[in-house]
């Protein structure tokens, strides 16, 4: 995977992640990618990249792995908020 960060004209820190075919295959096999933003000069925090057939299945997977709870706020591809 290609990882990088840059300062945009808007003054904000921007992060980029390029996924290889191997990364995509691992994602399809249920192996999420966890990225430490601190390694890229970001604030403390991480990014979790994962995939699923539908948004509902992705939310279910996150819940099953204990990665989200009742206070987690999730937006779908149209910007709508999900429970």
pLDDT for 38-77, tens place per residue?
888 877 788 889 988 888 888 888 888 888 888 888 877 7
Structure tokens at 17: 């992640």
Determine what percent of the chain is predicted with pLDDT higher than 90: 30
Flag whether pLDDT at 23 surpasses 60: yes
Give 22's pLDDT tier (boundaries 50, 70, 90): very high
Name which residue leads in pLDDT, 74 or 15: 15
**Residue 69 confidence (pLDDT):** 81
């Amino acid at each position: 995977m290609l990882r990088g960060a840059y300062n945009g004209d808007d003054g904000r820190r921007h992060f980029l992640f390029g996924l290889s075919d191997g990364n995509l295959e691992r994602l399809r096999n249920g192996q999420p990618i966890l990225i430490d933003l601190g390694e890229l000069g970001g604030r403390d925090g991480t990014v979790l990249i994962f995939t699923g057939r539908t948004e509902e299945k992705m939310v279910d997977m996150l819940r099953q792995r204990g990665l989200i709870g009742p206070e987690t706020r999730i937006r779908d591809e149209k910007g709508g908020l999900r429970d």
